[in-house]
Every structure is written in C-alpha cells, then in structure tokens.
Chain A
Amino acid sequence: MLKKKHYLALGVVVLAALLIFSLPQRATGRLKLAVSSLFLPLFGLLNTAQQLPVAAADIVMPRSALLREVGELQRDQQQFRIQMMQAAATAQENDQLRALIGWQRQTQWKLKLANVVMRDPANWWRTVQIDLGSRDGVRENLPVLTADGLVGRVSSVGLTRSQVILIGDPYCRVSALVENPAHDVGIITASGPLDSSLVELTYLSGNAVLKPGQNVVTSGEGGIYPRGIPIGQIVDSQTVEFGLYTEARVKLAANLGALEQVWVILNPQVNP
C-alpha cells in the first residue's frame, strides 16, 4: 500500500519532471549541454581507444608502403593543383559573367572537418553529435555534408560539440531540385524509421516527369542550404491526392548509417 514515503517520492519526481518541462527553451538547451558534458570523458576515452589500432597499424606499416603512398599522394596533389587552376580560371570567368548581368558573386565555401562522436540513443530521432562547437565558429542551421552529398544541418551548438539533425528526420526539411528538363522543385521529408538511406521528395508538381536515377540536389531556397549540393537519386515516384502533386523516393548519396567524419559549411551563401 502507499505509504508517506511513496507519496513523497512520487511528488518529488513528478515535480522535478514538470519543472524541467516548464523551463524556457534556452535554459533547457543549456541544461542539456551541461548534462551531456558529463559524458565527455567517456567519449574522449572511446576516441583514444579507437585510435589505438590505427596507431598500432601505423607503427608496423613498412617504410616502402609508406613511401609508395606518399608518392601516390604527391601525384594526386599535382593533379588537383592543375584542376584547381582550371577551376579558378572558370570561377573568374563565372564572376565576370555574373558581374556583367548583375548577379550576386559566389563566395567559396569555408569548410571545417568534424568527427561524429555519437548517435541519438532514441529510435525516433535521427541526429548525431559532432566534435565542433561555438568556439570553432559553428552556429545553428549551418549545412553539414560529406564528399558524397548532404547530411543535414546543425540544430544546437555547445562550446565544443554540436548536434546535427540528419536528412530524413522530421525536423530536417530540404528544398530540393530534380535535375530533369523541367527542374522540378520539391521538399525532402522523412520516410520510414527503418531505412536511413531513403527519404521522400514530396510536393512536386502533379505533372512532373521523374525517372529512376535522376539526380536530386539542393535548390538553394529556404535560407539554409546553398544550391547544388547533391542529395541523392530518384528511386521511384507516384502521383498522390488524385494527381494534385507527385511524391518520389530518393536514395541518399551520403551513407548516413556509417558517418564518421563530416564537413560543416561555415559560410553558406543562400537565398532567403
């Protein structure tokens, strides 16, 4: 039966929960960061443990293999330098043409590499935490990507870590453009909770002609993501709401299930 002690415990816990619920969002965010910082030593330990096999492999790697790798990297570097010169010339030409027709000049992205330190323990969100924070220049709503394509956006920022909402989470909506002749524009939303490699592209016009394999990139609208970041490829499509609009499934270019390192764009230039 309920005793005085039980009533007291019940009251204290319910009161604590209600108190935390009723805190302003800013205070909750700070409290969340403070609580999660308790785990920092453990994450540091895990990181060190993960580096140990790599360090051990580096020690036992033969010198000839290292020299061969250095040679390959030097060749790649020279190739990239030539490509960069060509790209710089193209960019200059592009700037001149933009100036001629009065378009805004494009700035080069300032990227910062981040390590993914943990994933959301809850099954109903798709977020990760990265090891960059406000002291590294990261702020809310900065786009995050890999070399393959878009990953998501920064949702909250601490001093040394930030939370990234991955594409496919209900709170990560992206304006996307299909690279077809009509350049149809739609919104990337969440799909199912199981397969993180598929998302829904919805609100495309009812007469959009989509084919499997067509590329989907960011449209540059919405104020967060710059135009032209690869998102994925169309898998299939169907008209919904009696032909009012078209929906498509998109296979994501970035492998969200195996994220280890991501790039944060620190200076995205987007249309509001």
Chain B
Amino acid sequence: MNPLQSILILAAAFLAVFGEAAFPLLRHWLGAQVDLLPGLMVYTALNADIVTVSLLATLGGLWFDALSANPLGVSILPLFAIGFVIYLQRELILRELPFAQFILGAAASAAAPAMCVLLLLTGGQQPLLGWGSLWQWLVMTAGGAVATPILFEFFHWCQHALGYQPRTETSFRPDREIRRGKL
C-alpha cells in the first residue's frame, strides 16, 4: 500500500460526493441518487490499510453530510462499519473476481443507507420515507453493485499508470555469464 493510493482513494471520494450533489441526472431518470462511497469503501477495505479505511469513513462521511441536510457525522459510522467488517474478513474474500466485487458492492450499498436512516430515526430526525423509499433503496443497491467493479478497474488502471511497476526478473545472471577468452 503506497500513500499515492490513499490519496487517490480520498480524492475519488471527494469527487464522488461532489458529483452526487452537482449532477442530479440519475435522480431525474430513476428517482434516486446512487451513492458511490460504499463501493469505494469496499475497494479500500480489500486493498488498503486500516488507516485509509478510517480516513475514508471519516472524511467521506463528513463531506457527504456537509453537502446534505443530514446531521454532521451521521454517515461516518455506517461507512466505517462496512469497511471494518470487510477489512477483517478480507483474507477470505476472492477480491479479484468481478462477481465478488459486485456482490460486496451491492451489500455495502444496501447497508449504508439503511444504517444511516436508522441512525437518523434513532436521533429523532424525520427523513422523507415511504413506499417509494424501497425503490430508491433498490436503485442505490443496484447502482452501487454496478459501480464497484468499475471502481476496482479504475484504481487498478490508476495504479498501473501512476505507481511504480514491479521489477521483472530476467533469466540473465551476471555470475553465470560465459566469458570467452582470446582463444
């Protein structure tokens, strides 16, 4: 794990939150805005260290709440809970498989808004809920599921383009070189 990857993850979270607030096209078409932070958290929990997971949960949650009418900090705990659970189980997860990424993205995108709404209700808030919320939840789950493998691909590409490449081993060994003499 290099610092560049952590910076890239946090920059992606910042841009994701900005995009969700500035481009409401999906909301016009489907009636719900897709949240990319849970998918990003899945990638981070599977590929980064616990410090990056904590930073993404704290900063991502703060950025999201700052642009929304949520009480500040309410999105931090759901994001961290998702990241922490996946991080602890990451040795058992086939992280390279797109299907596994899809399922994890769906589960995270379903759990994050549900936990957030539960926290809001526990805090005495009155979010806008109804039967239509089920449709919104499905859209968020499906959107997050589709976005997660794309995020994995994007970060692999970034790592390939910006990070140091692993040194390739050649079969050439100087100590085994046959040096020809004059004769």
Contact = CB atoms under 8 A, between A and B. Distances in A.
Interface of A: 2, 5-6, 9-10, 12-14, 16-17, 20-21, 23, 28, 31-33, 35-36, 38-39, 42-43, 46, 117-127, 129, 155, 163, 165, 168-171, 190-195, 257
B127 A125 contact: yes
A42 B96 CA distance: 33
B72 A31 contact: yes
Nearest to B57: A13
A32 B61 CA distance: 12
A95 B80 CA distance: 62
Given A5-B50, A123-B33, A193-B136, A32 B72 contact: yes
Contact of B67 (A6, A20, A28, A120): A120
A122 B61 CA distance: 12
Most buried by A among B72, B87, B88, B113: B72
Contacts of B17: 39, 121
Contact of B63 (A31, A33, A38, A195): A38
Contacts of A5: 50
Interface of B is mostly: helix
Contacts of A169: 69, 128
Contact of A35 (B33, B54, B62, B117): B62
Nearest to A25: B71
Contacts of B72: 20, 23, 28, 31-32, 35
Contacts of B80: 10, 13-14, 17
Most buried by A among B31, B76, B128: B128
Contacts of A28: 71-72
B77 A125 contact: no
Contact of A13 (B68, B76, B88): B76
A166 to B, nearest CB: 10
B42 interface: no
A190 B128 CA distance: 7
A6 B17 CA distance: 27
Contacts of B33: 121-123
Contact of B136 (A127, A165, A194): A194
B130 A193 contact: yes
Contacts of A35: 62-63, 66, 72
A16 B58 contact: yes
6 tightest Cβ-Cβ pairs between the two chains A and B: A20-B73, A194-B132, A124-B127, A35-B66, A121-B20, A125-B69
A39 B132 CA distance: 30
B66 A17 contact: no
A125 B70 contact: yes
Interface stretch (B22-30, B101-109, B158-166, B172-180): B22-30
B1 to A, nearest CB: 13
Contact of A9 (B18, B51, B64, B131): B51
Contact of A124 (B51, B87, B129): B129
A194 B135 CA distance: 8
Contacts of A21: 71, 73-74, 123
Most buried by B among A117, A118, A191: A118
Nearest to A39: B18
Contacts of B133: 123-124, 193
B120 interface: yes
Contacts of B69: 120, 122, 125, 127, 155, 163, 165, 169, 171
12 contacts: A10-B80, A35-B72, A39-B67, A121-B35, A122-B64, A123-B128, A124-B127, A169-B69, A171-B69, A193-B130, A193-B136, A195-B132
B155 interface: no
B2 interface: no
A123 B22 contact: no
Contacts of A33: 66
B128 A124 contact: yes
Most buried by B among A13, A122, A125, A170: A122
A28 B71 CA distance: 8
A118 B131 contact: no
Given A118-B22, A123-B136, A127-B69, A193 B62 contact: no
Contacts of B113: 123-124
